[in-house]
Amino acid sequence: MKVVVDLSTCDLHGLCVEAAPEVFEIGDDGALRVLIDTPPEGLRAKVDKAVRECPTGAISIEE
């Protein structure tokens, strides 16, 4: 799976960081960073949760 974040719609709610801290981080510059573009399958449930809970729908998974 490949994680794609649309930074133009990201609103920094940080729910993805809570759902999948291995994959998402808000950096020192205050912008969201994807730490692993292609996370292992073991993280799918966490990434799914991040996608579902993002209030702006900024995260998507490309298979």
Partner 1 sequence: MLRRIVVVGASLAGLRAAETLRDRGFDGELTLIGEEPHRPYDRPPLSKQVLQGTWEPDQTFFRRKHGYDALALDMRLGVRATSVDFRARRVTLAGGTFADYDRLIIATGARVRTLPGIAPRAGLFVLRGLDDAIALRRELMHSTRVAIVGAGFIGLEVAASCRARGLHVTVIEALPVPLSPVLGPTLCEMIASMHRDHGVDLRTGVAVTDVVGESRVAGIVLSDGSRISADVVVVGIGVTPNTEWLEGSGLTLDNGIVCNGSGEAAPHVYAAGDVARVANRWHGDAPRIEHWTNAVEQAVHAAENALAGPAAGTSFSSVPYFWSDQFDRKIQFIGRARPHDEMVIVDGSLADRRLTALYRRGDRVVACLTVNQPRALIKYRKLLAGGAAWEAAISGTAVS
Q: Which is nearer to partner 1, 2 or 52 (CB)?
A: 52
Which whole-number Å values give the CA distances from 46 to 2, 16, 29, 30, 59, in the listed order?
13, 9, 24, 22, 12
Contact 2, 60 (CB under 8 A): no
SS3 at position 36: coil
Told to check if 26 binds partner 1 by CB under 8 A, we report yes
Told to check if 13 binds partner 1 by CB under 8 A, we report yes
Site for partner 1 (CB under 8 A): which residue of 8, 30, 62, 63? 30
Name the site residues for partner 1 (rule: CB under 8 A): 11-15, 17-18, 26, 30, 48, 52-53, 55, 57, 60
